[in-house]
Amino acid sequence: MARFLARRAATAMVVLLGVSFITFMLARVVPADPAASYVGQHARPAEVEEARRALGLDRPLLEQYWTYLKDVASGDWGTSIGTKRSVLSEIGSRFPATLELLLAAIAIAAVLGTVLGVVAARRHGRGLDAALRLFSTAGISMPAFWLGLVLQIVFCYRLGLLPPTGRYASDLQFTSPVEQITGFVLFDSLVTGNFAVFGSAVEHLLLPALTLAAYPTGVIARMVRASMLEALSQDYVRAARAYGVRERVVVWRIALRNALPPATTVLGLTLAYLLTGAFFVEVVFNWPGLGQFTADALLSSDYPAIMGVTLLGAIGYILVNLAVDLVQARLDPRVRLS
């Protein structure tokens, strides 16, 4: 395990260096002037030039990159050009909302996708199997922002069942303010007994989480279905049935255990989609996470913010893939960590 973690740490450093270098260079070749954005549209040329020197934009690119690496290593991810605040502070204040949305979407996708895949495999070749495959294909095919708008029209404006935007009802900020502990509204409101905010947060979370979970649900359902069809045709399954083991145990404990490793890999790989897809979903549902911050940073050439969000995504992707490898080794004894 120690050797495995050491190798993965070395690989992660190479990946982070590559991602940071490519992103840094691409952010600098965009035809925009971050110094002009920093001082404002009506600044004089002398003020823009002074800002360029203060930001270090007048130095060679490689020297800028080396300075950036040293600052990141010391815990300084730079200052956002748009908000004039520390990038780490901006990310820290918005990341809990994005992570809360991601965790809800992952939980929905993992549970719903697994159940649909197992049911489709058990009804192989029947009408229910075809309907579930059609549902999975639709979830994979529909863009997240379009699906979010459709769900808003149906459940918010037509049926009036769920709120369209926000993290929880705005009036509760005054009547039932949330005591900030972790930044996760669901957790903070629950442990502090603020059930008014907790209920409102659950209602506001449903639509964006379902929107974000549509793609991974379809992918996991199709993968579980294929893996279950293979597992159900194996000799050990036939032997279990011959010994009189109940069908529920055969399907949900014996066959599913051997069908889960491929689905676990797919779940880890779809995290990259969830992270980028979350930005579109957050804009559609006015979710106060990293999405709007990233969109504003791209429009204003806020390269420190762009670099910070990119590094955060790369670190998250590396950690998730590490967790997937460990879970696979736990689920399948034949898997060896290398």
Reference 255, options 243, 266, 244, 241; nearest CA is 241
Task: Give the pLDDT confidence score for residue 338 in this predicted structure.
Answer: 55
Give the 3-state secondary structure of 13-53: HHHHHHHHHHHHHHHHHCCCCHHHHHHCCCCCHHHHHHHHH
CB 282, CB 59: distance < 8 Å: no
CA–CA dist 204, 196 (Å, integer): 12
Predicted pLDDT at 44 = 76
| C-alpha atoms less than 13 angstroms from C-alpha of 53 in its C-beta half-sphere | 5
Pick the CATH number of 87-331 from 3.40.30.10, 3.30.460.80, 3.40.47.10, 1.10.3720.10: 1.10.3720.10
* 141 CB-side CA count, 13 A: 6
Cβ-proximal residues to 234 (8 Å cutoff; 6+ apart), any chain: 255, 258
Model pTM?
Answer: 0.81
Residue-level pLDDT at 269: 72
Res 337: pLDDT: 58
Length of the chain: 338
Domain ranges (residues) in the chain = 87-331
pLDDT tens for the chain, 338 residues long, are 777 778 878 888 888 888 888 888 887 776 666 776 676 667 677 877 777 787 777 788 888 888 888 888 888 888 888 788 888 988 888 889 988 998 899 899 889 988 998 998 888 888 888 898 888 888 888 888 888 899 999 999 888 889 988 888 888 888 888 888 888 889 989 998 889 999 999 999 999 999 999 988 988 888 888 888 888 888 888 888 888 888 888 888 888 888 887 777 777 777 766 777 788 888 889 888 888 788 888 777 788 888 888 888 888 888 877 777 777 666 666 656 55
Q: For residues 203 and 281, what is the distance between their CA atoms, to the nearest angstrom?
A: 16
Q: Can you tell me whether residue 223 is helix, strand or coil?
A: helix
Report whether 79 contacts 86 (CB < 8 A).
yes
Q: Kindly write down the DSSP assignment for every residue of 58-119, as one continuous string.
A: TS-HHHHHHHHHHHHHTT---B-TTT-SBHHHHHHHHHHHHHHHHHHHHHHHHHHHHHHHHH
Looking at residue 334, its pLDDT comes to 60
